[in-house]
């Protein structure tokens, strides 16, 4: 069968299964087993698949396609995800890095005006925020912490693979294992879904760790804790940056203002929705 016909059939199958990006998914999965970039398919799509791939490769593609049709995230099937120009190893023990979180990195880089400083990334997961920032601010020291030991190991592996030497990762329940108290920036993408949020039953979220998604008090509990405790670890004039749900901006802004933060502001994500709220320690 021709490669373009195979991809068309795979795209139709994934579309019927509810994929948001069926053609992209099909190309990524076939490219994985064939060792080809997606652009190759647009040039050589008229070639016969059996002439370009082994029977084992084709069987592997069918297996990956079946898992994707069941809903398994492409990042888990490939074991990696692109984020802010970095290729990060992914696994089901952490959240999958998402493009909207790149807004956090952009803002942190803009705030990092000094030649040196410290950034703390809470709930670091794959290390996405910490490593993207560290790559672009090599004179800064970056600490990423996570409650899950497997996530810390994954972040360390990503740092080693990417040869980013100014980022350290540590197992910690939020601030519990953090002794430093002079961070210019603290970033966090904490759990912010309520335990009955319908999004928990949709898309990739179904296969991500619930502990990284759900918080008490209708998803606001961890925000309140971080807002209260962060000033003990921020340097004077330092910023706390929080990623939150699209309807949680008013509550997060209100909590920051009530706790005495200044310059409170909210940034929109790539879809124009409120996503990142930050405040400054006096």
CA-to-CA distance for 193 and 264, rounded, in angstroms?
Answer: 22
Higher-confidence position of 203 and 280: 280
Q: What average pLDDT does the segment 265-271 reach?
A: 94
Which pLDDT tens digit goes with each residue over 85-142?
A: 999 999 999 999 999 999 999 999 999 999 999 999 999 999 999 999 999 999 999 9
H/E segment holding residue 47:
none
Question: Which domains are delineated in the chain?
Answer: 3-71 (1.10.8.10), 81-280 (3.40.50.150)
Percent helix, percent strand, percent coil in the chain, to nearest 5: 45, 20, 35
pLDDT in the model for residue 205: 79
pLDDT in the model for residue 138: 97
Nearest to 173 by CA among 226, 112, 241, 111: 226
Q: Tell whether the model's pLDDT for residue 266 goes beyond 80.
A: yes
């Amino acid at each position: 069968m021709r490669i373009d016909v195979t991809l068309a059939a795979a795209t139709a199958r994934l579309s019927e299964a509810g994929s948001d990006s069926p053609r992209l998914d099909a190309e990524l999965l076939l490219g994985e087993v064939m060792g080809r970039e997606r652009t190759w398919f647009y040039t050589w799509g008229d070639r016969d698949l059996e002439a370009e791939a082994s029977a084992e490769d084709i069987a592997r593609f069918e297996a990956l396609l079946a898992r994707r049709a069941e809903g398994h995230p492409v990042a888990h099937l490939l074991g990696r995800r692109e984020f802010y120009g970095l290729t990060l190893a992914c696994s089901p023990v952490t959240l999958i890095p998402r493009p909207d979180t790149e807004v956090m990195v952009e803002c942190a880089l803009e705030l990092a005006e000094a030649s040196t400083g410290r950034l703390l990334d809470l709930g670091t997961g794959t290390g996405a925020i910490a490593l993207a920032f560290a790559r672009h601010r090599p004179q800064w020291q970056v600490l990423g912490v996570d409650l899950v030991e497997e996530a810390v190991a994954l972040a360390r592996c990503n740092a080693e693979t990417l040869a980013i030497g100014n980022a350290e990762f540590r197992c910690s329940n939020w601030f519990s294992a953090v002794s430093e108290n002079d961070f210019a920036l603290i970033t966090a993408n904490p759990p912010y879904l309520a335990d009955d949020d319908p999004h928990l039953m949709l898309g990739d979220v179904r296969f991500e760790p619930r502990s990284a998604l759900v918080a008490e008090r209708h998803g606001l509990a961890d925000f309140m804790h971080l807002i209260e405790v962060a000033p003990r670890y921020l340097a004077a004039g330092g910023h706390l940056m929080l990623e939150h749900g699209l309807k949680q901006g008013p509550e997060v802004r209100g909590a920051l203002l009530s706790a005495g933060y200044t310059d409170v502001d909210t940034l929109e994500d790539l879809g124009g929705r409120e996503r990142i709220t930050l405040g400054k320690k006096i």
